[in-house]
Structure formats: structure tokens, C-alpha cells
């Protein structure tokens, strides 16, 4: 549905997007993840035909973003990070106006307006002036506008900015529900958002794609591993040395506890294919150190994100 090939954008001497390529299949919800300034919004503006690429190209449903931009826009719904709205209009007036701009007939406009106001929780404010609404409600109006013409593809740039926790949960549920009927590309730097709704993730940093795959694939990649957290009372260095000798332990990091016989917290990295918990527990008990806790902590997408973007930053330094 979305095909990107060597897409590049240069501003003066700044390379904002650096020859990126990726595919988004029909009906997928794909997270476009990266830190602020990574090139996410610039990429989305090129895909939505708001910015021309410096080189490379992309297509949406087989339509070229440069040569067929008007057709591309007709099948896209776009929610920018900062939603441009006519603040003097009432909500229902604005959506009606946007429908007329898209050449939707009256009956279709009315039907779709009712649908999007219901899905975006705008019924209670449909007769209020947009300029009097909170930032969260304005974000909902922008999302309703993006959905109004029932687009094949939705591109959402930071869709939960300005929403309160309840609204964030509702918006994530809406995005998840829209998958399948629509193809979604969701730009965000909020990791729980990606894990909650996205079946696939593209990680961008410094204008380059540093990884892509499902959240599980990224968590389980070679750069990532689970760790075992151990908390016991004993001399920190002796505890560290004893745990390092346990079969299957690839590394030990002391997180807390430096003085003799204090409470020690250690993070152990198991070697691939090893479950070290039982042997670790036996080792601690044999040394007579009181064991308070031992638990397996699975790798997180946050850890991958931090590692991936940090490595990219080091590569640029």
C-alpha cells in the first residue's frame, strides 16, 4: 500500500532524511518510531505530498507522490502534529466545510460527519466554536477530519499529543479498531503507544532507518536479551564474583549495594538458551546470603529504542 524507495530530503546543508526505504502492507498498523528530530515528520510530509523529496521516491496505493500528488491526497487522511483548524468555525461547520472541499455530496457528508463525530467523541461539542475547545478536543477534530472521507490510508503524526490519559486510551483503541479497514502509519516517540496498537515498527534515528520488524522481533533481536534481577544481602564484590561463575551467566552488573553485607541488587545477562534462575538461587543459598528476590525481566522495546538510537548517534559523532 505504501512503498518508499531511497527517499531523501536535504535542507541546505542538513540531511534530514537519508535514503530510507520501507514497505507498509494493506491493512497494517505500522509505528514510525524515533526521537525528536529523527526525520519522522519530514518523511510524513513527503508521503502526504506537502513536501517534495530531494531524491528517491514513494508511492501510495500505486500512485506516485510526485507525479500523481492530487490522486494521492484523495486517498489519504493526514493528522499533522500541530493541527491547522479554522478556530472561528463550530465543529460541525468545519467538518461540513472540509467535506465540501473534498467534493462529498450532502448525504454522504452528513453520514460521515455523524460517524466521525461519534468515533472521535465529539458529539458533546459539535456546536461549540473550535477556538474555545481544549487542545485535546482540537486534536480530536483533526482526527475526525482525517477520517471524514473514509481514506484508504491514514497517516497520523503524534496523534495523542495534548490528550489526557483517558483520551489517550480511547484514541489508541480507535486506532487499533481502524486497522484492517485502513492502512495506518503512526509516527510517535511514545513507546507504549507502539506496543499497544502497532503490528510492525520502523525505527528511525538521524534520518536513517536503524531497525524494523514486529515489537516482538525487535525485543528478541540479537542486540536484546532478557535479564535476571537478583536481590540478596551479602558482600557486594563476593556476590558479584560468585554469580559471574554460575554456568550460563554471560555478565553481571551491580545495580545497588557497595558496602559489606548490605542489600545487593544485581542484573545478570544469561547466555542464549540458558535459564539461570535455579542455579543462581542455589549459589546464593550455599553462600548463606539471605535471598530476598529473584525474577526474570524480559527485554523491552524501550531498551531496544535507547540502544538503537544511541548507536546511531555514536556513528554520527
183 in any annotated domain: yes
Are 143 and 269 members of one domain?
Answer: no
Residue 10 lies in a domain: yes
Is residue 47 domain-shared with residue 124, that is, in the same domain?
A: yes
pLDDT given at position 317 = 46
pLDDT tens for each residue of 198-233: 999 999 988 999 889 988 887 766 545 678 999 999
In a shared domain, residues 144 and 274? no
Instruction: Please tell me whether residues 163 and 252 are part of one structural domain.
Output: no
Which pLDDT does position 87 carry in this prediction? 95
pLDDT tens digits along 226-277: 789 999 999 999 999 999 999 999 999 998 765 556 889 999 989 888 889 9
80, β-bridge pairs: none
Q: What pLDDT does 257 receive?
A: 60
Residue 98: per-residue pLDDT: 96
In CATH, what number is assigned to the domain containing residue 62?
3.40.50.300
What pLDDT sits at residue 304?
Answer: 64
Residue 122 lies inside a defined structural domain of this protein: yes
Could you tell me the CATH number of the domain that includes residue 240? 3.30.70.3190
- pTM for the model: 0.73
- Which helix (H) or strand (E) is 64 found in, with range? strand 63-64
Nearest to 202 by CA among 10, 51, 29: 29
Q: State in Å, rounded, how far the first CA of the chain is from the last one.
A: 36
| Burial classification of residue 67, based on how many CB atoms lie within 10 Å of its CB (0-12 exposed, 13-18 middle, 19 or more buried) | exposed
What is the domain range of residue 240? 227-298
Amino acid at each position: 500500500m505504501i512503498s518508499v524507495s531511497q527517499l531523501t530530503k536535504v535542507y541546505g546543508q542538513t540531511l534530514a532524511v537519508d535514503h530510507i526505504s520501507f514497505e507498509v502492507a494493506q491493512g497494517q498498523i505500522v509505528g514510525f518510531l524515533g526521537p525528536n528530530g529523527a526525520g519522522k515528520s519530514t518523511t510524513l510530509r513527503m508521503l502526504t505530498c506537502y513536501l517534495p523529496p530531494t531524491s528517491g521516491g514513494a508511492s501510495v496505493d500505486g500512485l506516485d507522490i510526485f507525479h500523481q500528488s492530487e490522486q494521492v491526497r484523495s486517498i489519504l487522511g493526514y493528522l499533522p502534529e500541530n493541527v491547522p483548524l479554522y478556530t472561528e468555525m463550530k465543529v460541525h461547520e468545519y467538518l461540513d466545510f472540509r467535506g465540501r472541499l473534498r467534493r462529498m455530496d450532502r448525504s454522504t457528508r452528513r453520514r460521515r460527519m455523524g460517524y466521525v463525530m461519534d468515533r472521535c467523541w465529539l458529539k458533546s461539542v459539535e456546536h461549540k466554536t473550535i477556538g474555545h475547545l481544549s487542545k485535546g478536543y482540537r486534536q480530536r477534530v483533526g482526527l475526525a477530519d482525517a477520517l471524514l472521507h473514509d481514506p484508504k490510508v491514514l497517516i497520523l503524526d503524534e496523534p495523542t499529543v495534548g490528550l489526557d490519559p483517558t483520551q489517550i486510551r480511547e484514541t489508541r483503541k480507535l486506532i487499533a479498531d481502524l486497522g484492517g479497514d485502513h492502512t495506518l502509519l503512526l509516527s510517535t516517540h511514545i513507546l507504549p503507544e507502539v506496543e499497544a496498537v502497532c503490528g510492525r515498527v520502523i525505527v528511525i534515528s538521524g534520518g536513517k532507518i536503524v531497525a524494523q520488524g514486529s515489537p516482538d522481533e525487535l525485543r528478541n533481536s540479537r542486540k536484546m536479551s532478557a535479564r535476571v534481577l537478583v536481590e540478596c544481602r551479602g558482600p557486594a564484590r563476593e556476590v558479584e564474583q560468585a554469580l559471574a561463575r554460575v554456568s550460563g551467566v554471560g555478565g553481571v552488573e551491580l545495580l545497588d549495594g557497595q558496602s559489606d553485607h548490605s542489600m545487593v541488587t544485581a542484573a545478570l545477562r544469561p547466555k542464549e538458551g540458558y535459564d539461570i534462575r535455579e542455579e543462581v538461587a542455589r549459589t546464593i543459598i550455599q553462600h548463606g546470603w539471605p535471598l530476598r528476590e529473584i525474577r526474570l525481566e524480559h527485554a523491552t522495546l524501550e531498551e531496544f529504542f535507547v540502544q538503537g538510537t544511541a548507536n546511531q548517534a555514536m556513528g554520527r559523532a
